Amino acid sequence: MSTPLSIGVIGSGSVAQGAYLPLLTTLRSQGKVRRVVVSDVRREALDIVTEAFPIDGVTQDPYAVIEDPDIDVVAVLTSMPEHAALTKAALLAGKSVMVEKPMATTLEEAAELLRIAETSPGHLLCAPHVLLSPDYQAMHRAIQDGRIGRPTLARARYGHDGPSWGAWFYKVGGGPLFDLGVYALTSLTGLLGPVTRVTALAARARSERIVDGELTKVETDDTYQLVIEHEGGALSTVTTAFGMQRYKSPAMEVYGLEGTVQMLGDDWAPEGLELWTNEVGAWQLFDSASRNWPWTDGLTHLIDCVRNGTEPYTSAAHAYHVLDIMFAALASAESGRVQTVDSRFVPPLPIDEVEGPHRRSHDRVYDGTN
């Protein structure tokens, strides 16, 4: 095990304050992190985190973090439109980068990031990190083991009433598909493989709303239904919106010719699995091994990979493919036509089949017994 790392955080808004900086504080106490430097263009955001967290430096210039030779890993946690440029600069500076979703707001920028990452010395790890959750891994294992037979249909959803902060969520390049639907698409493509065709309908349930205390024009659609064809022949649907109040349905259900497996809760905060197999003839409940699983886990994973000299479990090619699907969905909603999706990625096997370094103490939940 190598020495603790020095981390640069760019963007210290909601997600940094509520999730990633608390995580980094824990990782520091575990000896994985030795230094944390934070950048935000807003001075008041830096004042808040300086007060709340053990931080070794702040700056309003994100490039001061990127160019700091002591920084090993950069976490890009800004609003979406800034992701690509900051990630590109950090990769070119030789850093390993964890970028919040989506990795970019255009496919061209995302493709450039993939190209740079191929030759850059650092890793590129893209949120969301749902493939790392123990419950996702258990669902993947159950499907791979043939417990539900050949998967033919799936359904996933993620929505809420929309953030009350960050006007950029409601401008072009934002919206629930890129902010929330991206989780469901990452999970579904991880389980069922790449997508070949997508069709979508979109609507705008609200034309204006209160954001950061001000009446703000909603400039992007906020309500989506997607119908998707996967390369292996399975069909899936994704429901996502910034106008959903509550739900009690499972985050995701996969239907096979011999059974059904469903993830309870949300895929970023799973609450266990329910499995029906014709063979058993009853629903089996697998209690969650994800109760303390943080959805920020990708940053821990990246830090572990850099320290151990191992490759990340998740690929930037997967994040690119999900972005490709989302743009195809927008084009479908706009044109009223089914869109083909050309990019591909190879979904990773369950983590317990990937050799050595990716093994984690919590990676085995479903093992054929409940």
Ligand X SMILES: NC(=O)c1ccc[n+]([C@@H]2O[C@H](COP(=O)([O-])OP(=O)(O)OC[C@H]3O[C@@H](n4cnc5c(N)ncnc54)[C@H](O)[C@@H]3O)[C@@H](O)[C@H]2O)c1
User: Which residues lie near ligand X (CB under 6 A)?
Assistant: 10-15, 39-42, 45, 62, 77-80, 82, 100-101, 165-166, 179
102 versus 193: smaller Cβ distance to ligand X: 102
Max CA-CA distance within the chain? 60
| Between 166 and 250, CB nearer to ligand X | 166
By beta-carbon proximity to ligand X, the closer residue of 45 and 116 is 45
**Amino acid type, 329:** A
Q: Which residue is nearest to ligand X (CB)?
A: 13
Instruction: Provide, rounded to whole angstroms, the least separation between the CB of residue 128 and ligand X.
Output: 7
What is the distance of C-alpha 320 from the center of its chain?
12
Least distance to ligand X from the beta carbon of 17, Å? 8
Q: What is the number of H-type helices and E-type strands within the chain? A: 11, 17
Taking the complex as a whole, the smallest distance from the CB of residue 236 to ligand X amounts, in Å, to 22
Q: Give the shortest CB-179-to-ligand X separation in angstroms.
A: 5
102: cis peptide before it, omega within 30°?
A: yes
Q: CB-wise, 90 or 333, nearer to ligand X?
A: 90
Shortest Cβ 158–ligand X spacing (Å) = 11
* Nearest-approach distance from CB 271 to ligand X, in angstroms: 18
CB 199 within 8 A of CB 218: no
Q: Considering beta carbons, is residue 240 or 260 the nearer one to ligand X?
A: 240
Q: How far is the CB of 16 from ligand X (least distance, A)?
A: 6
Q: Report the chain's C-alpha Rg in angstroms.
A: 20
How far, in Å, CA of 153 to CA of 285, rounded? 21
C-beta of 255 vs 327, nearer to ligand X: 327
State which amino acid sits at residue 178: F
H-type alpha helices, 73-126: 83-92, 107-119
State the burial class of residue 54 (Cβ atoms within 10 Å of its Cβ: 0-12, 13-18, 19+): exposed
CA nearest to 327, candidates 218, 178, 221: 178
Dihedral of alpha carbons 33, 190, 311, 133, sign: positive
User: 165 vs 283, which CB is nearer to ligand X?
Assistant: 165
- 3-state class of 338 per DSSP? coil
Residue nearer to ligand X on the CB measure, 45 or 202:
45
Using DSSP's 3-state secondary structure scheme, residue 25 falls into helix
Q: How many CA atoms lie within 13 A of 304 on its CB side?
A: 13
Q: How far from chain centre, in Å, is Cα 65?
A: 24
Q: Least distance (Å) from ligand X to the CB of residue 43?
A: 10
Q: Which of 211, 306, 247 is nearest to 2 (CA)?
A: 306
Quick check: helix, strand or coil at residue 3?
A: coil
Instruction: Provide, rounded to whole angstroms, the least separation between the CB of residue 364 and ligand X.
Output: 26
Residue 28 or 101: the one with the smaller Cβ distance to ligand X is 101
Residue nearer to ligand X on the CB measure, 10 or 326: 10
Q: How many CA atoms lie within 13 A of 87 on its CB side?
A: 33
Shortest distance, CB of residue 67 to ligand X, whole angstroms?
13
Considering only CA atoms, which of 370, 193, 198 is closest in space to residue 277?
370
